[in-house]
Amino acid sequence: MVLNYWAGGFSQQRIAAAIYDSESQGTYSSELMFYPRTLGFSSYSFRGDLQTLRDVVGLDIPVIVLTRPILQLGKGHYRVVIGFDDARREVIFHDPYFGERYAMSYGHFMKLWELGKGLNRSRWSMAVVPRERAFPFPDLASHPLTAVNLGTAYYRRSDYARSREEWLKAAERLSGDPYPLYSLGMTSFRLGNAAEAESYALEALALDGKNAYALDVLGLAYAEQGKIPEALEALSRAVKLAPEGKFIRDHYRQVKAIRDKKTGLENKPEKEKSSEKER
């Protein structure tokens, strides 16, 4: 809807094919934010409120928001805010389920807009404008969510150098938040700098000692440096803190396999080791 507002010819089917994730059966906000940039638009994500929506929409710039579809469902649902009815105290938006120019009271809208905790779930908003048009809200243009979403999108594309650039911006704007720090740690790890990854992970853990994702990065960094006992300890803690994290369990198993293989070789008789070398 938003892309067609600025330039026609964009089908919903084409957009969905580009950004829909079949495994999670949804669309990541980072992908939604990244996609317009591949088509010559500028896009900015930020944490909004009613006044922010009013200001942006007041300049004829529609805003995509991530909400619940209804209060009883905790899944994400995107809507496009296009206006306000102040007399009735209602937000007006386009909705893929309920149709165009749907109206909802301020209070109910705000409840739906609080999808959950975290930057990507609490009043997530996005504005798209043609690249040649200035976005007249510098504070929103430099909001850390843009860097977070771009960093995530680049990481997903294995462009770790550009991902790192965005996470550095996010870390500068989100001082005291472990999220960009352990994300920087993972990009450093992917770029082959395990010592730097360890440093970022420890910095994140200094802010939140029970952060499973920071412990995951720390475990991988330790393993890459040959510190297998320390790696298993960190990853074991991460698994206990986030048992639902499949990728963390996978990392633990991978490092455990390295430990078991090394232990097995060390426990083999010298004669058996020699025969293996001869082969």
In tens, the pLDDT along 116-131 reads 888 888 999 999 999 9
d(C-alpha 113, C-alpha 104), whole Å: 12
In tens, the pLDDT along 209-235 reads 999 999 999 999 999 999 999 999 999
Structure tokens at 5: 């507002």
Where are the chain's structural domains? 2-141, 160-267
CATH architecture classification, 2-141 = Alpha-Beta Complex (3.90)
The model's pTM? 0.88
Phi, psi dihedrals of residue 107, rounded to the nearest 5°: -60, -45
Strands (DSSP E) found in 96-239: 99-105, 124-130
Specify whether the CB–CB gap between 145 and 167 falls below 8 A.
Answer: no
User: Distance of alpha carbon 176 from its chain centroid, rounded?
Assistant: 18
Tokens 């078991």 identify what position? Answer: 260
In tens, the pLDDT along 35-47 reads 999 999 999 999 9
d(C-alpha 260, C-alpha 26), whole Å: 38
Kindly report the length of the chain.
279
- Lowest model confidence (mean pLDDT) among 17-21, 90-94, 176-180, 258-262: 17-21
Structure tokens at 66: 């991530």
In tens, the pLDDT along 145-162 reads 999 999 999 999 999 999
Q: How many Cβ atoms from other residues are within 10 Å of residue 73's Cβ? A: 11
CATH architecture classification, 160-267 = Alpha Horseshoe (1.25)
